Amino acid sequence: MSYRVAMDIGGTFTDVVCYDERSGTVTASKAPTTPGDLAEGVFAALGRVVEDPAGISFFVHGTTQGLNALLERKGARVLLLAGQGGRDVYQIARGNRDRMFDLRYRKPAPLVPRQDVMEAGGRLDYLGRELVPLDEESVRAAGRRAREEGYDAVAVCLLFSYANPAHELRAGEILREELGDDVLVVLSHEVAREWREYERTSSAVLEAYTGPVVRRYLARIERRFAERGLAVPVHVMQSSGGLVNASYAMRRPLQTLLSGPVGGTMGGVAAARLMGRENAICIDMGGTSFDVSLVVNGRPDVSAEARIEGYPVLMPIVNLHTIGAGGGSIAYAEAGALRVGPESAGALPGPACYGRGGTRATVTDANVALGRVDPAWFAGGLMTLDVEAAGTAVATLADELDMDPLLLAEGICDVANAKMAQAIRTLTVEHGIEPREFALVAFGGAGAMHAVFIARELGISEVVVPRFPGAFSAWGMLEADVRRDLTHPYFRSQDTLDGANMSRNFGTLEEDALAALSAQGVPEERRRVEHAVDMRYEGQDYTLTIPLRDAAEPAEPGFLETIAARYAEAHTGRYGHATPEAPVEFVMLRSTGLGSFPRTAAAAQEAPEERAAYVRDVIFDGAVHSTPVLRRSSLDGELAGPAIVVEETATTVIPPGCVATVDPNGFLIVKVNL
């Protein structure tokens, strides 16, 4: 058993990467996704890179099952059990207005309507002390209703359960007695043991809403593996950028919500490490969407909370900014001006050049019309593009706008590039980060086609195109660590802080994290734990997460002064100012258990017999350039633009004036002429 396999299951293609531990080679391929039974697409993709699946020693994949259920509002029917007097917490939500000047703004509709919310009697105080015992009969009544009315899941969120989960734990026992294993029971303190009642309720509801879909999918994948005699454990990517095995993911399905896109970020972390870079902007451009994430100081940019489709989530999650800009984004005229996206042609009918019935011009059609794509070897020869259909689609829109078709084609690309550059500014400039200090790591099926043009918009001088960029998210999953995140509420002012007590609490969290890694099968020598504390200035509402050196640091002399100085530095970096003389408060302790796997070697698969390069006319800046079209595996030394580099999973466009080289890791490094 020597194959380590990772798979990214997308809406159109299932991308797969295989690392052979014996030979040190890495191969990548893809197969059409099979929406009716995703397992069929999984095994079809495996067959492209592994001769004998019995040789697989490690398997990890990313799934968007939960996210798709949320986006399409096709999740489970959920009954919410709130504390007495708290029935309307989820409906009222927060009073602040997210978009101050949007007169049409509406809060997202709750996933659980008010008639599906019940109350359980009992009460704890803010320290977790019992004031009124749990009314067990009210919990049993909720269980009976869930069984009789056919609910798929029950979410339980009782007041102050983060301080003392006893009432929630007992409610969970009762509900499982009433419902058995057929109905998912979600306890809010297990999803997010953190303060903020509405946000914790929202997190529990999201897990209940998406959980049954994720659990059925993972159970089906494991069953299909077993039917084929494969004993390899199935691992899943988490939204935090770490891995867990499928059994844990079925218990905590919310952790997989952004499992697919996050793989690319972890690939960016690995690529930055291999190149000796600290900072990178990761861009993933597919057929429908454009995802942006950051690598800062060699680490993924992770937040302790996020909003997904307008719903708050309390869990560690990689900061991703997504817009509707991909190869399939449709160009159209509006009020005499050119618009691109967010509507996409999708996989069917797709861009006009796919020959599947599409007639509207897309970004991919514009690139085909400009000559920037090899139509005979698109996606490694899986598809031959219809150049004439692309030209017709672009010309039709050009007539509507009274423009030259080739000028319009460049305009379509320029508008898309400007939108994607603005998406990058949202994660960088708007947070006080200078994008010119970062390398741009481009992947996804269309990322390398637009990367240099986006870099010019932002003043970035270096673009990195990793090997098999179309399957880069899958490769990133092979480079990720097993990860378990634990939290402990810890409300203290600086005057009441007991450093030794904080250190003991961190020690307990560390023991729990190491035990969790052991349960995930991580060898002792590959386990480590990192600690951090959430802090704020006295009177502030929100916090910043400040890393610690180790669990013992809070007990050391001078800790308060040291951690306050770190907080002031972080506050300045995030908000542009700090108040060092103000007293600080501590809110939450965080410990992250990390278990590393052997990293994949840099060696790529041996290059096959190459077709000779050829030259074609390509449009850049309104002028025709004779441009060589080259297979990536044949590159050696420097390559001056203009050039088109093709490979099985992507196309890289190198405009005039830019120079590309292949580094020792097999990455294509493009120096951008600004």
Segment 49-69, tens digit of pLDDT? 887 888 888 899 888 888 888
Among 116-130, 336-350, 452-466, 612-626, the minimum mean pLDDT is found in: 336-350
Q: pLDDT (tens digit, 9 = 90+) per residue, 430-487?
A: 888 899 999 999 998 899 999 999 999 999 999 999 988 888 999 999 989 999 999 9
> Per-residue pLDDT averaged across 336-344, rounded?
89
Total H helices, total E strands in the chain: 16, 33
Q: Please, what is the average pLDDT of the chain?
A: 90
Nearest to 79 by CA among 179, 165, 160, 167: 179
CB atoms within 10 A of CB 615: 11
pLDDT for position 452: 97
CB-CB contact of 475 with 468 (8 Å) = yes
The yes-or-no verdict on residue 260 having pLDDT over 80 is no
Q: Is the pLDDT assigned to residue 653 strictly greater than 80?
A: yes
**478 within 8 A of 15, measured Cβ to Cβ:** no
508, pLDDT greater than 70? yes
Q: How confident is the model at residue 612 (pLDDT cuts 50, 70, 90)?
A: low
pLDDT band at 611 (very low <50, low <70, confident <90, very high): low
Q: Name, of 105-109, 362-366, 598-602, the range with top average pLDDT.
A: 362-366
> Is the per-residue pLDDT at 607 higher than 50?
no
Q: How far apart are CA 98 and CA 105, in angstroms?
A: 8
Q: What per-residue confidence (pLDDT) applies to 38?
A: 76
Among 643, 637, 636, residue whose Cα is nearest residue 658: 643
- Mean pLDDT lowest among 103-107, 137-141, 250-254: 103-107
In total, the chain counts a number of residues equal to 674
State the average pLDDT over residues 514-540: 94
- SS3 state of residue 552: coil
Here the tokens at position 193 are 């043991």
Burial, 169: exposed, middle or buried (Cβ in 10 Å; 0-12, 13-18, 19+)?
A: middle
Give the CA angle between residues 385, 18, 296 to the nearest 5°. Answer: 90
Q: Is residue 36 pLDDT above 80, yes or no?
A: no
Average pLDDT over residues 484-504: 95
pLDDT of residue 1: 60
Average pLDDT over residues 19-39: 79
pLDDT tens profile 204-236 = 999 999 999 999 989 888 888 888 878 888 899
Strands (E), 319-475: 321-323, 329-334, 337-344, 439-443, 462-465
pLDDT of 603 above 50: no
